[in-house]
Amino acid sequence: MANTSSGVKQIIMLTLGWEELPKAWSIHGIDQSERLVEPVPALLVETIDGWVLLDTGFNKALIEDGALFDRFHSKFHQILPILPAYGTDPLLDALDRHGLSVDRLLAVAVSHLHNDHAGGLRHFGGSDTPVYIQSKELEFGLGDIAKAQGHGLARVDYDDPRLNFKKISGDVEIAPGIRAISTPGHTPGHQSFMVDFPQANGANGFIFAFDAGDLKENFESELAIGGFIDVEASDTLDQIRKLKSLAREKQMVIVPGHDPTIWPTIEEGLSRILK
Ligand SMILES: [Zn+2]
């Protein structure tokens, strides 16, 4: 999808794997036996200053090594990680498919430090590439290791002094046309992203919720998400409503973080347009 009238020139949606899990992780309170395969999302956004990567997918090593799998994934909250059947590394392969590499990015940002979003940060250790994260998220991730690991964070993904973290607080522009929107609850420093991208149909861009709301129904029916830390389930509705109100105010479209009916559809649409 190309654009010339804002700081953002192009948006590419990436699917860096999948996870098979109880839908109750996405919709609070429903029957645990209903399972769903959800995409692992990431985005490449080309701005007038360069390419920005939003989220980084799984750390493949934690899935392929038996002992690490046991520690971080095996029966872990009944979430089964699935890697693409092809290629060598989901993130590196995706960058390569679009003619990019880790040393060609202007910046990286992570919505939060869960292992399906922060697992690719290891590729940026030792590079100058800034990695934008909410201060509270890093503080939580580097705090009580048992608590963080118990909530699905793998400290090895982000506890690297060679990473050039840029800690931010609240709603902050991180690159031309890309604004981080603080949406804590799912994790203590979760952030979503607002991307300016004026459309012919009058919409001004997209709000990528990431895990502030996994599925379309979280937003359409205002249903609380099932995964949250240090808050009540109903508190997660505050962030869903914040994003809905921003979307109304800015005339933007909300894209949920893990919706299997939306994410691949958009990806296919974008690749058609890019061809
Ligand atoms: Zn998450």
Distance 202 CA to ligand 1 centre (A): 31
Q: What is the DSSP letter of 153?
A: B
Distance 151 CA to ligand 1 centre (A): 9
Distance 112 CA to ligand 1 centre (A): 7
Q: In this structure, what token pair is assigned to residue 75? A: 């029966």
Distance 210 CA to ligand 1 centre (A): 8
3 CB-near residues (< 8 Å, 6+ apart): 9, 10, 197, 198
Strands 50-54 and 35-47: antiparallel
* Per-residue confidence (pLDDT) for residue 76, from 0 to 100: 63
* Per-residue confidence (pLDDT) for residue 274, from 0 to 100: 47
Q: pLDDT for 46-97, tens place per residue?
A: 999 999 999 999 999 999 999 999 999 976 678 999 998 778 999 999 999 9
Distance 5 CA to ligand 1 centre (A): 33
Distance 265 CA to ligand 1 centre (A): 21
Distance 259 CA to ligand 1 centre (A): 13
Distance 101 CA to ligand 1 centre (A): 25
Residues of the chain with pLDDT under 70: 1-5, 75-76, 264-275
Distance 249 CA to ligand 1 centre (A): 26
* Per-residue confidence (pLDDT) for residue 112, from 0 to 100: 98
Distance 47 CA to ligand 1 centre (A): 26
Distance 178 CA to ligand 1 centre (A): 21
**Contact 254/260 with Cβ under 8 angstroms?**
no
User: What is the distance between the alpha carbons of residues 275 and 224, in angstroms, rounded to a whole number?
Assistant: 38
User: What is the distance between the alpha carbons of residues 108 and 117, in angstroms, rounded to a whole number?
Assistant: 12
* Per-residue confidence (pLDDT) for residue 267, from 0 to 100: 57
> Residue 20 to residues 31, 38, 55, 80: CA-CA distances in angstroms?
15, 6, 19, 5
> Which residue in this structure is represented by tokens 């952030």?
191
Distance 4 CA to ligand 1 centre (A): 33
Phi, psi of 5 (to 5 degrees): -105, 15
User: What is the distance between the alpha carbons of residues 89 and 110, in angstroms, rounded to a whole number?
Assistant: 18
Size of the chain in residues: 275
User: What is the distance between the alpha carbons of residues 231 and 229, in angstroms, rounded to a whole number?
Assistant: 6
> Residue 24 to residues 40, 96, 227: CA-CA distances in angstroms?
17, 35, 8
User: What is the distance between the alpha carbons of residues 133 and 169, in angstroms, rounded to a whole number?
Assistant: 8
* Per-residue confidence (pLDDT) for residue 6, from 0 to 100: 78
Domains along the sequence of the chain with CATH: 8-274 (3.60.15.10)
